[in-house]
């Protein structure tokens, strides 16, 4: 009787655990930090856990992981690459659609004072002194964001 109960529990628990693992693998990603653009918040070699997030869940101040801009200075289109198959950028959201563009971005991009971030776009900045970010590239399309950092995992430097 007891072994029958154990088998029934296993038949219930194993599929549920497998489903939960599958959902977690789709929503959670680990990315390694490269470069110094987020120092002192994150160091080169740190690994960060991120949650894939739709555009409507992004907020100013969050650290996000995004696809790098192309060599031609154009953002990619279509689906993002596999998280394990690409180098990713880690930056902080400085402004959302409708927010004023930060002064340092206005200056570097030659925008008129009082410019606001257009719909579907973000302004991102590195926390570090040396960072390629919206000061260099301008706006970042929402669809180039892989996810939002939940927490650092470890340093591998």
141 in any annotated domain: yes
Q: Check 91, 134, 154, 155 and give the catalytic one.
A: 91
Annotation says 134 is catalytic = no
- Taking only the tens place, the pLDDT of each residue in 51-92 is 998 888 999 999 999 999 988 889 999 999 888 878 899 999
- Domain range for residue 107? 28-155
CATH number, domain of 114, equals 2.10.109.10
Rounded to two decimals, what is the model's pTM? 0.81
- Count up the domains in the chain and report the number: 1
151 in any annotated domain: yes
2 in any annotated domain: no
Question: Which regions of the chain does DSSP assign to beta strands (E)?
Answer: 28-32, 46-51, 63-66, 89-95, 121-125, 140-141, 145-155
21 in any annotated domain: no
Annotation says 3 is catalytic = no
Does 18 score more than 50 pLDDT? Answer: no
The angle at the Cα of 63, spanning 155 to 59, to the nearest 5 degrees, equals 160
Rounded distance, CA 133 to CA 90, Å?
A: 10
Q: Check 37, 134, 154, 157 and give the catalytic one.
A: 37
On whether the CB atoms of residues 38 and 152 are closer than 8 A, the answer is no
3 in any annotated domain: no
Does 6 score more than 80 pLDDT? Answer: no
Rounded distance, CA 140 to CA 97, Å?
A: 11
């Amino acid at each position: 009787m007891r072994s029958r109960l154990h088998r029934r529990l296993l038949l219930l628990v194993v599929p549920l655990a497998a489903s939960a693992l599958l959902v977690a693998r789709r929503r959670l990603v680990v990315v390694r930090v490269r470069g110094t653009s987020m120092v002192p918040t994150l160091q080169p070699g740190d690994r960060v856990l991120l949650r894939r997030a739709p555009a409507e869940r992004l907020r100013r101040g969050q650290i996000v992981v995004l696809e790098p801009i192309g060599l031609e200075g154009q953002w990619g289109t279509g689906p993002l690459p596999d998280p394990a198959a690409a180098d990713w950028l880690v930056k902080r959201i400085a402004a959302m659609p409708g927010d004023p563009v930060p002064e340092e971005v206005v200056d570097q991009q030659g925008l008129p004072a009082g410019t606001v971030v257009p719909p579907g776009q973000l302004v991102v900045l590195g926390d570090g002194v040396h960072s390629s970010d919206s000061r260099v590239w301008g706006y970042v399309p929402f669809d180039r964001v892989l996810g939002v950092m939940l927490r650092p995992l470890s340093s591998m430097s």
